[in-house]
Structure 1
Amino acid sequence: MDVRRAGERYRGGDPQAGIETRHAFSFGPHYDPDNLRFGALIACNEERLAPGAGFGEHPHSHTEIVTWVVEGELTHRDSAGHETRVRPGDVQHLSAAAGVRHEERNDGDVPLTFVQMWLMPRDSGGDPSYTLVPGIADVTPHAVPAAGATLRVRRLDRGGRTAVPDAALVYVHVVRGEVRLAGEVLRPGDAARITGAEGLEAVAAEPAELLLWEMTA
């Protein structure tokens, strides 16, 4: 298990424009050849947008983009004609495939925080697609078959426990709260990259929310 702390994330964004970003993987000008990916996962960005701030229309291709809103409301628009509002508890999944353009904004009057994760698909090409799962339940996994990955959301009360999937690769991201995992204490923004997970369990020291990616090798 390789633990990466919130304070180790690369700083990005444009604070003067109301955009603050924390990158878990090599990203843009923060190039790190030893931290390019973990399994299919190539980005796990914590994004903070002030009211009125956002990312103008820009292109993506050959990327599975999954977004989890922590607080506030995210406005999404794309070149395939989708326009949605993504709220806490919703899972947004944009499959860029051969190419799509989109924009993301905070059109609300309160700060927006979200976690955006990019995965590399096994095959290139195809048509872009868009899915919004409102209010996903803990028992409902969200599969990203193009990348051989499944996202599981876990919300735990104090003392609550959840099994870590027995899988070739598991990525655990702490959204809020504090958990203990294999002797390590993980807090908001911390992540664990686990290879060959077997019989592991996360225990909440206080109410917590986790994102767990289960991936094939």
Structure 2
Amino acid sequence: MKTYLHRSEDRGHVQAGWLNTYHSFSFGSWYDPRFMGVSALRVINDDTVAPHNGFGTHPHDNMEILTCVLSGTVTHKDSMGNEGHIHAGEWQLMSAGTGVRHSEINDQDIPVHLLQIWIQPNVRDAEPTYQQIKRDPREQPNKWHLIVGPNEAAPMHIRQDAEVKTAYLTRDNQLPVTTTQGLNYVHVISGKVMINNEVVNAGDALAFAENFDVTALEDSQMIWFDLPKV
């Protein structure tokens, strides 16, 4: 595929009372046929949840649901019996499989900022699972940190031939983006980077099949999705 730059301003924006959200891909009430996902990556929602509000109990099935809390704390409860907190710098992977019900609530006095990511599985109707790790790239900057991968050696195991990595890259530092699965999708959470002479700002993402370096034009945090080539 050709290099494709997905600009932040092309995302859907929904302000619905307690939820302020930006959708990289069509989701809920926001639909754009140009943005239906990339490879197995179906959803990146950049959510800010007001205090004492959140997502009440609702169902999912046959989706790998990855949550990254950027600031604040989320209280999680699900039908598998898991109940607890996801703090800033922590990641949760819920493999919905045959079906699970869950809630994600901000019961604190400050807003919560999180990314909600959905990846389509390559195995359907499997047993639901729950995984959670702490991996704050600011604590070890200028390196890629593996979050999920397709084998049991990864910190969290995903039911897809995909890897998700994150990095906090300080200004003028550089990291390689070398695909193992066939397709790269780098989403910038904050800051500004350069990839193959493209300036990629906060909220932007770049899709490419080649192997390039990413250079921080300012202190930046990003997520790299290494996805099956389509």
- What TM-score bracket applies, with the shorter chain setting the length? over 0.9
Q: Give 1:136 shift.
A: 5.2
Which of 191, 196, 214 is the aligned partner of 1:182?
A: 196
Contact 1:61 1:99 in 2 (8 A): yes
> Aligned letter for 1:169?
L
CA distance in 2, matches of 1:30, 1:139: 32
- The share of aligned pairs that are identical, in percent, is 32
What's the CA shift string for 1:170-195, capped at 9, x where partnerless?
1111111111111111121111122x
Q: Which amino acid aligns with 2:113?
A: T
**Structure 2 CA distance for aligned equivalents of residues 214 and 161 of structure 1:** 18
- Equivalences for 1:1-217 in 2 at 5 Å? 1-12=3-14, 14=16, 16=17, 18-135=18-135, 138-141=143-146, 142-143=148-149, 144-167=157-180, 168-194=182-208, 196-198=209-211, 200-217=212-229
Contact map agreement 1:70 1:175 (CA 8 A) in 2: no
TM-score, structure 2 as length reference: 0.87
CA–CA distance in structure 2, aligned partners of residues 160 and 80 of structure 1: 42
Structure 1 gaps, min length 5: none
- Report the alpha carbon displacement of residue 84 of structure 1 after superposing the two structures with TM: 2.3
Change (3 A) 1:77 1:36: same
Q: Distance in 2 between matches of 1:10 and 1:145?
A: 27
Normalised by the length of structure 1, the TM-score is 0.92
How big is the shift at 1:13? 5.0
1:76-99 alpha-carbon deviations (Å, 9 max, x no partner): 111111112112221210000010
Q: What is the root-mean-square deviation of aligned Cα atoms in Å?
A: 1.5
Structure 2: stretches of 5+ with no match in the other structure: 138-142, 150-156
> Deviation of residue 19 (structure 1)?
0.6
- Residue 65 of structure 1: how far off its partner (Å): 0.5
